[in-house]
Structure 1
Amino acid sequence: MTKRFLIIVFILFSVITTAQERTSSPYSFYGIGLNTFKGTVENQSMGGLSIFSDSIHLNLRNPAAYGKLALTTYGLGASHTATEVMTSEESGTANKTSFDYLAVGIPTGKLGFGFGLIPYTSVGYDILDRNEANNTASRYTGKGGLNKVFLAAGYEINENISVGVDVNYNFGNLQNKNIFIREGLQYGSREINRSDLSGFTYKIGLAYERMLNEDLQFMFGGHYTPEANLSSANERELATIIFTGEGMDIAADTRQVEVADGDLTLPSSYTLGTGIGKPRKWFFGVEYTGSEASDFSNRSFALEGATYNKSNSYKAGGYFIPNYSSLTSYFSRVVYRAGLRMDETGLNLDGEDINEFGITFGVGLPAGRMLSNVNLGFEYGQRGTKDSGLVLEDFFVARISLSLNDRWFVKRKFE
């Protein structure tokens, strides 16, 4: 058991020290970046539902689910995103491959624990804005994001009700660079803003399930995250640059501008959902998430034309298994998942609401013994709008995860 812990801890810290750009969306400029984590591959393949939980899969969005685990469960996920970015005049494409989560769930009777690492938000964009009338060009680039290391616990009060709590330590940085050049001039200007963020957030969760008859099961769940503050250490650098023909900017002189540090407030949010199904056969559920209005006015630079309103997210999805216990047909034991989601992000740019939707589907492929499986998930979606000179994004995401099960706290009968 100790050896397993050491391997897991080593992997966690190796991943933490590896920086990634997990998105290519221009909308990741705003707030603390684009929220790129919406659950495990199993959850995301069902439209992002967080109300469904069982004894052999991790549910990283509702801590109450840890109380239902029967086996020690490891979860590791990654994804590849292909995005087409379109304005009313032109378009471009981008591809990103990223690590999504690493987590472990450990049952100890009615009490279950979980810990892991999740890259939670991401900043990653590269925009060139030419003004032919003035013979000028501005290039905007950004990178960074917010990660969280979490420790969670869930307790099964009785066969129907479980409760849980999540403690997250959030850390990361947001970096934005703006280069301005004018045709015919040797020099240009560069501004770099950086915010280093850190702080704790918390979540409480509830899961309720009950058999209505010998075949039909009812589920209800919810979780709540209180408002929290992250400390923000801000810095700004201004420079006069020489812009080379190879696209490199060489600083001729630089100066640091003092920028006040502060706190960045993350709004409270809550999720409620319900569903019905037959265990190990099928399930269908719906879910709503609401979040209070955000206020990022204390970022280290002004965000002109951007306002933040209350956000709303609507999800529906489920799964189907032809024959869970089939001994003759592998594909009868495969879990087939599908769902859809609609997100009102709360971000408004120049009077236009930035919304997002996705259609998801996937499969869970049985692998090896101890109920382990490989999960494949896919999503097609859109984000934004071409109106008011903004950007519409078409994206396709392919996801893969390993869900591995083992027993840690069972004594061996034979040595």
Structure 2
Amino acid sequence: MFKNLKLSIICFDMKKFNLLLAGVVAMLSTTATAQNSDNPWYISAGLHSVDHTSVNGAFDGFFDTKDYSFVPPLSRIVVGRNVAKGIGVDITASVGEIDNKAMLSGQQASIGSVASLTDKFFLNVGPGVRISPLTLITGNSGMIDPYLRLGANYNRLDYRQEDGTDVTGTVPNDADFDHLGLSAGAGLNVWVTENIALNVGADYNHFPETGGDNIDFFQHYYGLGFQFGNTDKDGDGVLNKEDNCPEVPGPADNQGCPWGDKDGDGVLDNVDNCPDVKGPAENKGCPWGDKDKDGILDNVDKCPSVAGVARLQGCPAPTTTEIAAQGSKLIEGLTFETNSAVLTGESWTKIEKAAAYIKENGGQYFVDGHTDSRGKDTYNMALSQKRAAAVVSALASKGVDVATLTSRGFGETSLKCDESTPEGLLCNRRVVFTAK
């Protein structure tokens, strides 16, 4: 189809083409930055030069720029995309007006119009595969990023004189200006920022259909590279190239992955001080300990440093002496009917409290009755005995095991207070607990 292209293409105004090419680059740059892709796009733009002479001498004069045919800036663009770590695909396009200096040097004696071999329209377009060895090996090329490239291309270059005759005899007459070729080369990106690189390289272009060294050429290129398109698919603020879980939001501290819960206790591992053992959030994911080894966890143990009992929330149980003293306080001030062992109504509230306390703490006790010194000794002894027994019966009626209680009467033998006042007399008329 290229044979039908009009010869006017050869005379294309290069200034206009450069302006058009600049617009294409700008458009592609805008498009690339808007791509929603996990892998970055790559665009490079710059100038190129064509060298036919070095092909004949096995790289002889490869770096001799006098043999280069330079084309102005914005004469070559590349659009590529990474498809895997260290591997990308691209499309290159080069255009310009060049001289085939290899033909010129060999044909000046036989060609009357040397000018017919200069300023020839040149177009080279084709796809390729780019391989970055450092990225393949290490996963990250860093600032210096060499690469290899293999490609196939369509090349348009006029190898004929203006009268249509063949210049070298190596290009078949029916080949016209259009050739399909293969290319191989190497290049280097130097990333001055994360997204901008200085780009240089060279490709060897070979055209199997021609078989002529003067047709094959080296293409050198120089320009800027731009990398775009890295996104944040899961919207967690960690770019995909740095996100180990690009499909699921997660914090940057965990490389974009959500924190796990290894022990399944509902406390995320980043705040779990015991990530391998279940524990409550209020203890930072660790199980509650039992510092005093009393079987009561520290979070409910009111005495975590001293072994205790569950009914006292981990505090030590009182001794029977302490229980007796507390029980005595609870029944302090019991009253009876005059000269009787019958408890008054208001005394039963104290009996109920004392019974509950004794049942809670257990133990065995004497219930001792005492009187003041008024009256005969024998009478007071009997009365104190009866009143102590009445208290035992009352406690038993409230659920205290009667087998744990023994009543005793002491009469006036153990006076506690001075009886010169009514308060002193009342103090001596008492019933108390004593530990057995």
Q: Which has the higher contact order (CA 8 A, sep 6+)?
A: 1
Between Structure 1 and Structure 2, the one with more helix by share is 2
Bigger Rg, which one: 2
Q: TM-score, normalised by structure 2?
A: 0.26
Q: TM-score, normalised by structure 1?
A: 0.27
Between Structure 1 and Structure 2, the one with more strand by share is 1
